[in-house]
């Protein structure tokens, strides 16, 4: 009977179909309809979300792979050759992406590799900074353990915020500065345990390396973002290609200076394992994800993504290593979530 009634109403006046048409394109009160959002903005938001989530996942697994790549507490492979392979793989992936674009869209002024000296001369600076920072990432474990490293690593959050203001001339609101402080407190609290007094007992060389890493990471990240966004229409893969070319050159020099004898006697890939290969792949994809975030978001998003990844690493460690979640972890995770919200709110109030 209900079906007959509806069918009759539809036959008489088309009320059902009319109602459906009237509802099409409308949304709930106070909620923006997806159909009202321009397709270009939807694609931009989707791309930004994908690269940010990818960076979070890759950063979360990065620390685990570095620890697994060690044997008997030390690296049997050459860290300089590993860094060189990371830059080489990133360069190859950028070329592969460009080849696909050239095939589908053709060669244009924005995606061609040929460039001017003024454009390419700025890339050696961040490439050299990333080289030093990436090498320190391995050697700092001689002075600190994993929890201590995670705590000291948060120094780059403050350095990034300060350099973001100085270099890019972008004003951060008071709420965003408060969010930075909360993020540092939250990430630090999440890593504390019952022996936190021992975790903070880091020798002076460890503190110096951590501070240098924070400054290098912050300056290189913000400087790279400034380069990438200086010419927004320039294809990101072209910009990556030149950055990685200089990265390969600097890493090749590092091999000659530090590990030339070992490489000649034992071979370039001596000490490599499956875990080492996965670590190199992870580092390469992480680097590309970082550049994508800088292109379509900003370096602050990168900082929050990597900070959240630190908490995600702890969650994954519960299943892999039997890590015990403590009250400090839950409190820290809560503070980080609040800081992320405040940072977003601070953007709207600038």
The per-residue pLDDT for range 255-298, each reduced to its tens digit, is 999 999 999 999 999 999 999 999 999 988 887 777 777 666 66
Q: How distant, in Å, are the alpha carbons of 59, 93, 108, 132, 149 from that of 155?
A: 17, 31, 41, 17, 10
Residue 319 has pLDDT above 70, yes or no: yes
Residue 324, beta-bridge partner list: none
* Banded model confidence at residue 125, pLDDT cuts 50, 70, 90: very high
* Banded model confidence at residue 335, pLDDT cuts 50, 70, 90: confident
Residue 45 has pLDDT above 90, yes or no: no
Look at residues 281, 283, 170 and name the one whose alpha carbon lies nearest to residue 225.
Answer: 170
* Banded model confidence at residue 249, pLDDT cuts 50, 70, 90: very high
Are 346 and 175 in contact by the 8 Å Cβ rule? The answer is: yes
Please tell me what DSSP assigns to residue 142: G
Q: Helix or strand or coil: residue 74?
A: strand
* Banded model confidence at residue 24, pLDDT cuts 50, 70, 90: very low
Digit-coded pLDDT (tens) for 169-204: 777 788 878 888 887 787 777 766 655 555 544 677
* Banded model confidence at residue 88, pLDDT cuts 50, 70, 90: very high
pLDDT of residue 117: 86
Which single residue is written with the structure tokens 């950055």?
243
C-alpha to C-alpha distance for 166 and 248, rounded to whole angstroms: 29
pLDDT of residue 110: 86
Interacting residues of 174 by C-beta distance below 8 A, sequence separation 6+:
346
C-alpha to C-alpha distance for 251 and 80, rounded to whole angstroms: 6
* Banded model confidence at residue 350, pLDDT cuts 50, 70, 90: low
pLDDT of residue 191: 62
pLDDT of residue 296: 65
pLDDT of residue 7: 44
Interacting residues of 249 by C-beta distance below 8 A, sequence separation 6+:
127
Phi and psi at residue 200, in whole multiples of 5°?
-85, -5
Torsion of CA 306, 312, 314, 316, to 10 degrees: -130
* Banded model confidence at residue 22, pLDDT cuts 50, 70, 90: very low
pLDDT of residue 4: 42
C-alpha to C-alpha distance for 197 and 182, rounded to whole angstroms: 21
This prediction has a pTM of 0.72
Interacting residues of 238 by C-beta distance below 8 A, sequence separation 6+:
94, 98, 110, 111, 112, 113, 115
Q: How distant, in Å, are the alpha carbons of 1, 73, 285 from that of 273?
A: 71, 15, 19
Burial of 47: CB neighbours in 10 Å, binned 0-12, 13-18, 19+:
middle
Average pLDDT in the chain: 76
| E strand or H helix that includes residue 237 | helix 236-258
Digit-coded pLDDT (tens) for 52-82: 787 788 877 877 788 788 887 788 899 999 9
Residue 308 has pLDDT above 70, yes or no: yes
pLDDT of residue 248: 95
Look at residues 190, 194, 192 and name the one whose alpha carbon lies nearest to residue 332.
Answer: 190
Digit-coded pLDDT (tens) for 127-184: 999 999 988 888 887 777 665 666 677 677 778 778 877 877 777 788 878 888 887 7
C-alpha to C-alpha distance for 130 and 42, rounded to whole angstroms: 33
Composition of the chain by helix, strand, coil, percent to 5: 80, 0, 20
Residue 29 has pLDDT above 60, yes or no: no
């Amino acid at each position: 009977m209900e079906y007959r009634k509806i069918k009759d109403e539809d036959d008489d006046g088309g009320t059902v179909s009319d109602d459906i048409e009237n509802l099409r394109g409308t949304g709930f009160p106070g909620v923006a309809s997806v159909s009202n959002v321009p397709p270009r903005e939807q694609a931009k938001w989707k791309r930004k979300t994908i690269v940010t989530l990818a960076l979070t996942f890759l950063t979360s697994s990065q620390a685990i792979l570095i620890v697994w790549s060690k044997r008997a507490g030390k690296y049997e492979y050459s860290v300089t050759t590993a860094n060189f392979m990371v830059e080489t793989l990133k360069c190859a992936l950028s070329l592969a992406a460009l080849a696909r674009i050239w095939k589908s869209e053709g060669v244009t002024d924005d995606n061609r590799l040929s460039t001017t000296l003024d454009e390419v001369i700025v890339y050696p600076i961040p490439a050299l900074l990333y080289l030093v920072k990436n090498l320190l990432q391995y050697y700092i474990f001689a002075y600190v353990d994993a929890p201590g490293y995670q705590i000291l690593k948060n120094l780059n959050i403050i350095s990034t915020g300060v350099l973001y203001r100085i270099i890019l001339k972008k004003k951060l609101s008071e709420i965003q500065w408060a969010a930075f402080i909360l993020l540092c407190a939250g990430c630090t609290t999440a890593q504390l345990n019952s022996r936190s007094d021992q975790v903070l007992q880091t020798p002076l060389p460890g503190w110096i390396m951590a501070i240098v890493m924070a400054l290098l990471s912050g300056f290189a990240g913000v400087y790279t973002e400034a380069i990438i966004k200086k010419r927004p229409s320039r294809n990101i893969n072209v910009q990556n290609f030149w950055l990685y070319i200089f990265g390969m050159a600097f890493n090749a020099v590092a091999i000659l200076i530090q590990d030339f004898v070992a490489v000649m006697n034992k071979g370039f890939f001596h000490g490599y394992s499956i875990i080492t290969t996965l670590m190199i792949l992870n580092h390469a994809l992480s680097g590309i994800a970082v550049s994508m975030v800088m292109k379509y978001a900003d370096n602050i998003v990168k900082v929050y993504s990597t900070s959240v990844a630190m908490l995600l690493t702890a969650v994954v460690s519960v299943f892999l290593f039997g890590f015990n979640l403590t009250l400090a972890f839950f409190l820290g995770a809560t503070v980080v979530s609040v800081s992320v919200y405040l940072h977003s709110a601070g953007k709207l109030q600038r």
